Amino acid sequence: MSKEQFTIPIGPQHPALKEPGHFTLTVDGEVVTGASVRLGYAHRGIEKAVESRNWVQDLYLLERICGICSHIHATAYCLGVEKLAGVTAPPRAQAIRVLVAELERIHSHLLWLGVAAHQAGFDTLFMYSWRDRETVMEVLEQLTGNRVNYSANLLGGVKFDVDTRVLETILSGLDFLETRTHHYLDIVSGDRIFLQRTRGIGMMTSEQAERLGVTGPTARASGVRRDIRVDAPYAAYDRYPIQVVVETTGDLEARFIVRLKELLETYHLIRTLLDGLPEGDLKTRMPRRIAAGETISRVEAPRGELFYFIKSDGGDQPARIKVRTPTLSNMASVTQLAVGHQLADMPMLLTGIDPCFSCNDRLTTVQTSGESETWTWEKLRQYGIASYRERG
């Protein structure tokens, strides 16, 4: 091995990803020897902004943390606030929340499949999966009136009902998607050229997955059986149980397979749900001021566990909302796994976790000592100044 090392900066605007992120890779020849990531290009300061808007306005702001998983953010928020207020949404509303969340999962996974195929240079698959994704976008549009940022949630319920016309669209859409998903499953586990890009690449054992704290499909592809929908059912998931899909190989291929098999589970869940959709109201009354207190709310976003901490001081605005999104916990795994891989595998490796930068750009510190620590505004400022100086 030569001593000479070469540093390759990628981003923030780069051909591979649609979102800004900056990576610095150290390479020796074609082999990556080190990787670091710099985030924050899409940091807007939403957590602070929610403190100056009221509970209802925050719903729409938080929904726009991420356009891909907008509904699940709103759901996590609504469930948390409802818990604080001591209100539960009616069963029909809860079921519709689950329905939209699962439709969103379909759109997100198909989107990911396309983007990941594109990274592998398999543009045909990209185009096909995006064509099929329009089926579910159409369903979402018929159901909620918008293709992205559906705002189906209200505090205390949902806005939309499922009528028979939409029901038919959903069911026929699901049939079509089911055959397509089987087809894709064949491709990702059978196409020889594609397998060369995925099989045995980015191996992560279940111990590694636990240690790096990855969540969602990425963790399930490494044999970690963890899914909030099953472990701590929220909304209506206790009534519509789901089978957790787990693969044990832990490579990129497993991440494809887990996500595609999850789609099949999702179709099944939606069908059962539509069969036994509970009757009743769509919303309950919600107080304008929320009782003082704090709570957490956990949901399973398409990319993994989404965590909300909500604190109220009894006013009509939240005192603090903290969001932890799945990409942030998965991001660490990329820099670890990158080492020892070919440079050409990097885009695939990164998309393997299904990254979403818009929800992930925030300050995090990792503490190992176990003692609690408070960062004051002044300390944050000093930290910011010092870190900018260091970067130059």
Give the binding site for another protein (CB under 8 A): 12-16, 18-20, 40-46, 48-49, 52, 60-61, 64-68, 70, 111, 114, 126-128, 130-131, 133-134, 137, 147-149, 356, 358
Encoding tokens for residue 2? 């030569």
Alpha helices by DSSP H, 120-163 = 123-144
Closest CB to ligand SF4 among 66 and 258? Answer: 66
Task: Find which of ligand SF4, another protein, none residue 185 binds, CB within 5 to 8 Å per kind.
Answer: none
Please report how close the Cβ of residue 274 comes to another protein at its closest, in angstroms: 25
Closer residue to ligand SF4 (CB): 111 or 120: 111
CA dist 15 and 378 (Å) reads 38
Quickly count helices (H) and strands (E) in the chain.
14, 8
Given the complex with ligand SF4, which of 82 and 361 has the nearer CB atom?
361
- Shortest Å, Cβ 391 to another protein: 11
How many CB atoms sit inside 10 A of residue 234's CB? 21
Least Å distance, CB 149 to ligand SF4, is 6
Query: Could you count the other beta carbons within 10 Å of the beta carbon of residue 41?
Result: 15
Tell me which residue has its CB nearest to ligand SF4: 64
Among ligand SF4, another protein, none, what binds residue 298 when CB lies within 5 to 8 Å by partner kind?
none
Q: How far is the CB of 13 from another protein (least distance, A)?
A: 5
Closer to another protein by Cβ: residue 37 or 246: 37
Residues that bind ligand SF4 (CB under 6 A): 64, 67, 148-149
Residue 131: contacted member of ligand SF4, another protein, none (CB under 5 to 8 Å, by partner type): another protein
Task: State the Cα–Cα distance between residues 133 and 128, nearest whole angstrom.
Answer: 9
Task: Between 67 and 145, name the residue whose CB sits nearer to ligand SF4.
Answer: 67
Count of Cβ atoms closer than 10 Å to residue 272 Cβ: 14
Give the Å distances, CA to CA, from 335 to 27, 148, 204, 353, 367.
13, 31, 12, 12, 19
Half-sphere exposure of residue 227: CA atoms within 13 angstroms, side-chain side = 20
Residue spans of alpha helices (H) in 213-284: 216-220, 228-231, 252-275
Contact between 209 and 222 under an 8 Å Cβ cutoff? The reply is yes
Query: For 289, which DSSP code?
Result: S
Cβ atoms of 289 and 272 closer than 8 Å: no
CB of 141 to another protein, least distance (A): 9
Give me the least distance between CB of 346 and another protein, in Å please: 15
Tracing tokens 């620590």 back to the chain, one arrives at: 373
Which residue, 20, 59, 288, is CA-closest to 159?
59
Which entry of another protein, ligand SF4, none binds 256, CB below 5 to 8 A by partner kind?
none
User: Quick one: 148 or 203, whose CB is closer to ligand SF4?
Assistant: 148
Residue 12 C-beta: closest distance to ligand SF4, Å: 16
Nearer to ligand SF4 among residue 222 and residue 325 (C-beta): 325
The listed partner (ligand SF4, another protein, none) that binds 166, CB under 5 to 8 Å by sort, is none
